[in-house]
Structure 1
């Protein structure tokens, strides 16, 4: 991290360490900058400085916190997303639609005209067409980077009475995967600061997350 005039300038690696979010999530946030307002990197006459992008850490942090608040303020969208299962499992288009809680036609539309941050996936050549496989992690990262996803078009899949997955468990799973040696109390405190609610609540969520990683 570089310091100029008392301000810190962070690379993407610095932002990963600072935020605790994955490289894919932060890359998707940058890809969707025209719609989510992601801050611009330091440039002089349009040229990126130091050969790699650096962002004003204070500006980026303020923006990121606002972005997360907006994301959490859309529970009807988040509740459609299935946050369970193996993050690295590849899904066919129909299963992708079920995970995202949208009509399968939405996946076809996205493949033809991808929105910012939509993962390319693995291409399988079929006799008359191609099929794109994507992992759960890729789809979750896309949703995390696009809080407005799902507000227009499409419809939730499955019966209305189906139990809604708890996104907080996935937040805890991601945090545990990033730092598996961290004590439950310390991790719960960090998650409480980032997402709200009590440390006691997050301890229970961390316990559930550990079970899913076993």
Structure 2
């Protein structure tokens, strides 16, 4: 990181790290396509390119928001029920239900819970929480793939619960037959779901 005229400037590698990318291939591609995507200009010092950090992060947030399918309208502090949470994030309501059992990384805790007459509770989250979750998690151009993967993991977890003891390969093939797609894609989801499952002693498989 360098400072020019009192403003912080960052290299491509530093921007990649701040945005959560693995390597700099994505940012190289965005820079190549800058005429189409509005990527901010760079300044060159020696053989290294630098970007105004604040300007670049504003652009990157806007660029990512254009592609993540999230509804950013409404009052940020409005408390939303699951069906409304799903509408804001552009997912099925069933995905919000699955997140309760198998929360994806960064999924926010509810601001309050409402007791239901039939038992159980309904969790409420604010638009601000949902926007922060969407902004922090998906990387540019990957929001749709990440959401699809999370949905597959949740379905895989349900399939593992439904037929205990069934092998990963068999579960993946059953999911592919039921929901479509290649079984190797579902095998990755099964692996992800198994990492979330508890092991004897009350601990998860993580760590």
TM-score, length of structure 2 as denominator length: 0.39
Higher relative contact order (Cα pairs below 8 Å, separated by 6+ residues) = 1
Structure with bigger gyration radius: 2
TM-score, length of structure 1 as denominator length: 0.37
